[in-house]
Amino acid sequence: MEYSFRKSPVYAFLIFALVLAVGIVPASAQTSKGSISGTVLDPSGAAVAGAQVKATNTETSQSSTTTSDGARKHRLPTMLAGWS
């Protein structure tokens, strides 16, 4: 007597679980947090070190400030949606 694993309920369950797991992973990657980063430039296009950068949440009026580094870059990490 030959037993076909592909026709068994266990095989069907494993395929279903795999499809479900693959579908859930991308959905869990969505988040309401982000960061703001960039380079500060003067009117001539030259990078500016030591420039203060301020972001304000338009809903709560809470603000966050950082200073551009020696590489003329700034970063405001882990910010919730609503900042500008």
The pLDDT of residue 2 is 62
CB–CB of 11/5 below 8 Å? yes
List the domain range (segments joined by +) for residue 31: 5-80
Four-CA torsion 26, 36, 66, 72, nearest 10 degrees = 120
Mean pLDDT (the chain) is 76
Confidence of residue 16 (pLDDT cuts 50, 70, 90): confident
- Quick check: 84 pLDDT over 60? no
Total count of domains within the chain: 1
Percentage of residues in the chain having pLDDT higher than 90 = 0
Which DSSP category does 67 fall into?
Answer: E
Distance CA 53, CA 51 (A): 6
